[in-house]
Structure 1
Amino acid sequence: MTSNFTSGDSSVSDGSLGSAALDRPLLSVVGGDLRAPLVQGGDVRYANLDYAASAPALTVVADRLTEVLPYYASVHRGAGYASQVMTSVFEAARASVSRFVGARPDDAVIFTRCTTDALNLAAGCVPADGEVLFLDIEHHANLLPWRARAHRCVEAADTVAETLARLAAALDERPVALVAVTGASNVSGEVTPLAQIVALAHSRGARVLADAAQSAPHLPLDMAATGVDFLAFAGHKLYAPFGSGALVGRRDWLDAAEPFLRGGGAVKNVSLDEVTWTTSPQRHEAGSPNVLGVVAMAAACDALAGLPAGAMQAREHLLRGRLVDGLEALGAQIFRIWDDSTETIGLATFSLDGHDPNRVAAYLSAEHGIGVRTGRFCAHPLFARKGYGREGAIRASFGVGSPTEDIDRLLDALTRYLKEGPAWEYTPSDKGWLPTPDPRVWPAWAQVNPAAGPGLSPCAAPPSLG
């Protein structure tokens, strides 16, 4: 399968990086040395294997915010020094995002709150008489917005080739305006054959939107080279968890659509009877923007773009191989969409036969200080078709700040769980499986329920069926 967003091979061999480079994180993250309390006493370095949900902030991102924060002010139209500085930084961030995704010169970069926000914005920009086509493997964010309009869902086959054939048949059945697909599955980590999908769609007069929430933190993006028409992604998965996102794409649809929000900044002129809206990107950015979130996302884009070509993919290939090999040795079922897919990002979803995934996750957190995600990962149709069950599964995900040790700790903890069982009692509740008792304490500043006692609060999270 060809690369997700690039026109050529950007991989590097493991040897070209050197074993030392592959053994250590590529970039420093805030919280990389965080200590997590254990129910049996003591604490350990927190092993964050939940990057696919929200990645930690890069240290350079936090440093950038510290540098910029004294200048914080409202952007655009401000005559003050701080406002002019922040306006310049804000628009420079737009340029950074454009470079990061390989946008065309005339593409618009619209800042949003997250990927879901960007996809809902995009849904309002498709021509009213146009139909949208998507696969049943999509995250709800790239499934639900389209269902409010003319749409068709294509069931993915067990192979990439047959899935492409089904898409081609659906496109031939009748014209569509847009094909909306994920860049990489948030369930399996498999990379979508985007270049082939773009070729199929464009040859039949349709445009393509890529949900890059999972692919942007792991793969090089090049909209101009691949021909992707629209791309959506979020800062919080891109090591900038400060409430920012972006929709990048063709101006004609964006300028013809009704403004996503109606308010100040999106207009040229307003009277009591008429409104003259401006063009993109401001057309869809009404209200005071999340300036610091945008600055953070741009800093993350620049930092990832500065990595050696192929370094991220090579390291993740080794880490995921280590993880999958270890899980298979334990008898785990590794979730896959396609039998013949070859390219993946840094995550794996799995189940252990006969073991509740939420109980396993509670054990990993409480006894080993390991954070994973459980549930159906906002991909309910895919789980239902594959017969994975309503209880969901376990997902381990990692990225540029993950040490190799985290993979080994997870495998060691699962080995102990299967051989010896938990050392603590766990009780099911409406909050998930809870260690009973739970002597761990939260930081004093995190207390939200004083009745829970001084510093005492259960740490186990409720099961996520999303």
Structure 2
Amino acid sequence: MTAFADQTCSPFAKVSGCDLQVPLVQGGAISYANFDYAASAPALQQVTDRIADLLPYYASVHRGAGYASRISTDCYESARGTVSRFVNAADDQVVVFTRNTTDSLNLLADCVPGDTVVLDVEHHANFLPWARNGRRVVPIADTIEETIQRVVAELCTKPAALLAVTGASNVTGELLPLERLAWIAHQCGTRIAVDAAQLAPHRRIDLRTTGIDYLAFSGHKAYAPFGAGVLVGRRDWLDAAEPHLAGGGAVRSVTTDGVEWAPAPQRHEAGSPNVLGVAALAAACDALAGFDESTVLEHERYLTHRLRYGLKTVPGVNFLRIWRDSTDAVGIVAFTVEGFEPGQVAAYLSAEHGIGVRDGRFCAHPLLARLGVDSALRASIGLGTTTADVDRLIDAVSTLVEKGPTWQYARTEGHWNPTPDPRPFGDSDQGGAPCGF
């Protein structure tokens, strides 16, 4: 029997909210079962501890002579080295701090000197930005192998500056062979960028080994929800492009007649940076790098298999899958339940069972259309997920199919909600959620 069987607490460091109690519509409260890690992951304890330590020293960075400013500057700049080591960046790759993955990919899109080739499985963040400089979309096939051959044909037919792909699908979690795709791109004189928003929290990434030229990911999906992201990539395009934002910090000198821009990374980090967000991201990288990789992977695969196996026994549950020959995925399970709209199921799970899942089209409309569904449910697993959480989700879906909900649900302003909804929201003075913090 696996070491994770009958687990009621995470074997890893504590995550924020692991002891959260949430109200139920039928009365009482229950511990929150979070299956929405793919949207935003809770903070690791190591991250909140780092922020608590830094807060007294928070100050303006780079130009302050005060002691707090020196400390903040050191934390901000040393975070570049932390991120660089976390992904084993090459010597010619720089670390640019951004707001999130979307911001990183939009920044890169303005630096690409030519067409970008993408697949039609991408999150909108890795689909929409490339249109401004020439986006060529490769429709996927039923298998990864045939999809790769289509990429080869596209790159061989007409030169492209960049191939931009997802590291792990945000809908199904399925992985692409990044090292192979990087080799193919380079053989065609093309660089490769990877949207690692879903990959980075689950798998170690080695830029030197894989040959990835550009990598983007978000702190809020990697257990550092403090508003920072990162773009790691080759310097030449970043140095040649116009600054992502024009302003202080991005310049060497300014006159009334012109400006001399600084090189990357400063070139693309104008304005007062998110020092706390960057420190949190670095702390998350340190924490993730400190876990035993094989243990984390075993934990994730065990829970994902347990969830899939359990849901498979429930009549009417159908899973989403992109490729017939995919053999690996991060801890994401996307599914539908016959006879129920995904939004209705999500509302039921929250209201009657204290379970949080995601429903909708997951900012991947072309992929959902290809898979033949208008919307779906997504349960995503993270470091704080336990076997007890997984079993609770399986039981709740089974109960819904067998007996139906015990509460009434209706669409209000486009969203499914329990009617009435007696749970407190928003006003902490009235016993609601602490929105006043």
Aligned ranges for residues 30-69 of structure 1 at < 5 Å?
30-69=16-55
The 1-side partners of 2:259 and 2:378 are apart by 48
- Contact 2:4–2:302 at 8 Å: present in 1 too? no
Alpha carbons of structure 1 residues 243 and 23: separation in structure 2 relative to 1, 3 Å: closer
The 2-side partners of 1:257 and 1:409 are apart by 51
Q: What is the CA-CA distance between 1:27 and the residue it aligns to?
A: 2.2
Report the number of matched residues.
433
Matched, 1:90 2:73: no
Aligned ranges for residues 229-268 of structure 1 at < 5 Å?
229-268=213-252
Matched, 1:377 2:365: no
Aligned ranges for residues 406-417 of structure 1 at < 5 Å?
406-417=389-400
- Contact 2:409–2:416 at 8 Å: present in 1 too? yes
Q: What is the CA-CA distance between 1:456 and the residue it aligns to?
A: 6.8
Structure 1 vs Structure 2 CA RMSD: 1.7
Partner of 1:461: none
Moved more, 210-219 or 432-441: 432-441
The 2-side partners of 1:139 and 1:432 are apart by 22
- Contact 1:439–1:456 at 8 Å: present in 2 too? no
Alpha carbons of structure 1 residues 88 and 456: separation in structure 2 relative to 1, 3 Å: closer
Unmatched tracts of structure 1, length 5 or more:
1-13, 448-453, 458-466
* Alignment partner of 1:208 out of 192, 196, 202: 192
The 1-side partners of 2:387 and 2:427 are apart by 31
Matched, 1:339 2:343: no
Matched, 1:366 2:366: no
Q: Percent identity?
A: 56
Cα distance per residue 1:228-278 (max 9 Å; x no partner): 000000000000001000000100111011100000000001000110001
The 2-side partners of 1:167 and 1:354 are apart by 38
* Alignment partner of 2:279 out of 295, 298, 318: 295
The 2-side partners of 1:54 and 1:288 are apart by 24
SS at match of 2:411: strand
The 2-side partners of 1:368 and 1:327 are apart by 16
Partner of 2:95: 109
The 2-side partners of 1:232 and 1:21 are apart by 33
Q: What is the CA-CA distance between 1:148 and the residue it aligns to?
A: 1.4
Q: What is the CA-CA distance between 1:349 and the residue it aligns to?
A: 0.5
- Contact 1:22–1:315 at 8 Å: present in 2 too? no
SS at match of 2:164: strand
Aligned ranges for residues 169-318 of structure 1 at < 5 Å?
169-318=153-302
- Contact 2:5–2:387 at 8 Å: present in 1 too? no
SS at match of 2:118: strand
Partner of 2:404: 421
Which letter maps to 2:10? R
Matched, 1:131 2:115: yes
Q: What is the CA-CA distance between 1:221 and the residue it aligns to?
A: 0.7
Alpha carbons of structure 1 residues 34 and 18: separation in structure 2 relative to 1, 3 Å: closer
SS at match of 1:428: strand
The 2-side partners of 1:110 and 1:296 are apart by 15
Q: What is the CA-CA distance between 1:441 and the residue it aligns to?
A: 1.0
Matched, 1:442 2:389: no
The 2-side partners of 1:317 and 1:165 are apart by 29
Which letter maps to 1:79? A
Partner of 1:148: 132
SS at match of 1:40: coil
SS at match of 2:204: coil
Matched, 1:29 2:15: yes
Q: What is the CA-CA distance between 1:193 and the residue it aligns to?
A: 1.5
Which letter maps to 1:322? R
SS at match of 1:110: strand
Partner of 1:355: 340
Q: What is the CA-CA distance between 1:353 and the residue it aligns to?
A: 1.4
Unmatched tracts of structure 2, length 5 or more:
none
Structure 1 residue runs of 4+, over 4 Å off? 17-23, 454-457
Alpha carbons of structure 1 residues 384 and 70: separation in structure 2 relative to 1, 3 Å: same
Q: What is the CA-CA distance between 1:431 and the residue it aligns to?
A: 4.5
Q: What is the CA-CA distance between 1:388 and the residue it aligns to?
A: 1.0
Q: What is the CA-CA distance between 1:21 and the residue it aligns to?
A: 8.4
Alpha carbons of structure 1 residues 318 and 61: separation in structure 2 relative to 1, 3 Å: same
Alpha carbons of structure 1 residues 132 and 206: separation in structure 2 relative to 1, 3 Å: same
Moved more, 241-250 or 352-361: 352-361
Matched, 1:71 2:57: yes
Cα distance per residue 1:267-320 (max 9 Å; x no partner): 001000110001010000000000000000000000000001222211111111
TM-score by length of 1: 0.90
The 2-side partners of 1:172 and 1:142 are apart by 22
Partner of 1:327: 311
Q: What is the CA-CA distance between 1:50 and the residue it aligns to?
A: 0.3
The 1-side partners of 2:4 and 2:387 are apart by 14
The 2-side partners of 1:261 and 1:253 are apart by 16
The 1-side partners of 2:410 and 2:69 are apart by 54
Q: What is the CA-CA distance between 1:20 and the residue it aligns to?
A: 8.3
The 1-side partners of 2:264 and 2:157 are apart by 33
Partner of 1:387: 372
The 1-side partners of 2:344 and 2:5 are apart by 36
Matched, 1:167 2:151: yes
